[in-house]
């Protein structure tokens, strides 16, 4: 195209400087110009087509641009309450659009990601071996395991083992010193399987009522263990995943005696608490039928012979008379704890017992507001007052 225009320009310049001598020369020159012009304006030379332009994507407008470009007559109410005509949207609409945009953005950002449950890792044999060697409880003596499981006291557990009533991994075991692991070894006592997971230690203080015995051998007599039926029924709810303990009393109170008795599943604790070598003092309140004088107190304090052993109390005291109690009451403290010791002391003095109640063992005293047949769980401080360090 540029070459054609340059040729036309050169021809015009030559025409302006040309010396025409005659009319025929001028005519010939004009004919040449028409031919050049015709060749330049030929449609075959200028048939140029262009590709159609791509449509532009529609532009999304935010609330501010929308308010600036919408020239729509809006009828709004001004501050004075009159209706007016304006070309911009009301401020309320613009604020509403902006708030909607902000809320949408916040909604996207506040999507909650639900965490998927992680699968427990599988530990290698080396890791399990390291755990067993360094953190797992070491094997213990068979007699101690039985006592910890609440089967019996340490001494009674040894007797069960010597009698051949305990099997370990299918074989009768007669040696209490045998090291066992309840989680690995299969232990049976009197045909009953010892649980792999030992129950937690339980320490309870019961206010024993009259008419209950401290053993479960006689079906026709009420046992103090029946007072813990509700406690054991709700055990799974209070201690999920823990086996139920086998409870027994620490020492005994005869069927007519009321008051404090300790109930546990810890055989070692029971053995230490009931062993005579501990010399734990026990306090009793005795209601007497009849009159008590100084002679009776001296006779009780002098003691009596029980099973060939002379037993004397630690203290004897006549309690002050109370308006709501007609019978005289004695406070007697003993530490040996022989069978029916307090009853024998009072009987030897020529007195008749109306009621007998134990109110204290060592440093733990029976709560005054604890009703008959009810119990409480012993705290660590209570166990220390009983001389036990767990």
Which token pair is 217?
Answer: 């051998």
What are the tokens at 106?
A: 């916040």
Active site residue 254: yes
What is the DSSP track for 213-245?
BS-S--TTS-BGGGGGHHHHHTHHHHSTTPPPP
d(CA 117, CA 313): 66
Residues 383 and 390 sit within 8 Å (Cβ to Cβ): yes
Torsion on CA atoms 124, 130, 133, 137, rounded to nearest 10: -70
DSSP single-letter state for residue 319: P
Per the structure block, which two tokens stand in for 33?
């110009």
C-alpha 235, offset from chain centre: 16
Find all residues with CB under 8 Å of 348, minimum gap 6, and list them.
299, 300, 304
Pick the catalytic residue from 236, 254, 266, 314.
254
CB environment 100-131: b (16+ within 10 A), e (fewer): eeeeeeeeeeeeeeeeeeeeeeeeeeeeeeee
**Tokens at 355, concatenated:** 């009621």
77 to each of 89, 91, 98, 285, how far by Cα in Å?
Answer: 12, 11, 21, 94
In whole angstroms, give the CA distance from residue 364 to residue 384: 9
Structure tokens at 59: 């532009």
Active site (catalytic) residues: 254
């Amino acid at each position: 195209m540029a070459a054609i225009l340059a040729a036309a320009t050169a021809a015009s310049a030559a025409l302006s400087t040309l010396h025409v001598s005659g009319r025929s020369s001028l005519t010939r020159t004009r004919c040449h110009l028409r031919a050049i012009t015709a060749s330049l304006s030929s449609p075959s030379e200028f048939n140029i087509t262009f590709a159609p332009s791509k449509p532009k994507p529609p532009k999304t407008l935010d609330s501010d641009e929308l308010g600036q470009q919408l020239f729509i007559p809006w009828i709004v109410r001004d501050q004075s309450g009159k209706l007016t005509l304006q070309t911009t949207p009301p401020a309320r609409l613009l604020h509403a659009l902006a708030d909607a945009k902000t809320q949408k953005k916040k909604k996207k950002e506040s999507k909650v990601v639900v965490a998927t449950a992680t699968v427990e890792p599988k530990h290698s044999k080396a890791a399990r071996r390291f755990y067993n060697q360094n953190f797992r409880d070491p094997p213990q003596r068979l007699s101690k395991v039985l006592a910890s499981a609440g089967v019996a006291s340490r001494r009674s557990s040894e007797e069960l083992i010597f009698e051949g009533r305990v099997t370990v991994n299918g074989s009768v075991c007669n040696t209490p010193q045998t090291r066992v692991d309840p989680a690995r070894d299969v232990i049976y006592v009197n045909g009953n399987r010892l649980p792999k997971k030992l129950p937690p230690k339980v320490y309870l203080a019961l206010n024993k009522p009259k008419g209950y015995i401290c053993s479960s051998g006689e079906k026709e007599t009420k046992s103090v263990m029946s007072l813990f039926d509700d406690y054991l029924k709700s055990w799974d709810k209070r201690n999920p995943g823990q086996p139920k303990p086998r409870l027994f009393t620490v020492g005994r109170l005869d069927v007519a005696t009321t008051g404090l008795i300790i109930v546990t599943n810890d055989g070692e604790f029971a053995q230490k608490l009931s062993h005579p070598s501990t010399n734990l003092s026990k306090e009793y309140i005795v209601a007497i039928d009849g009159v008590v004088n100084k002679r009776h107190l001296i006779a009780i304090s002098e003691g009596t012979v029980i099973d060939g052993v002379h037993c004397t109390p630690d203290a004897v005291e006549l309690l002050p008379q109370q308006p709501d109690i007609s019978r005289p009451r004695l406070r007697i403290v003993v530490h040996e704890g022989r069978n029916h010791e307090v009853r024998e002391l009072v009987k030897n003095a020529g007195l008749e017992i109306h009621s007998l109640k134990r109110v204290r063992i060592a440093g733990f005293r029976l709560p005054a507001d604890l009703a008959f047949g009810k119990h409480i769980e012993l705290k660590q401080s209570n166990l220390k007052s009983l001389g036990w360090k767990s």
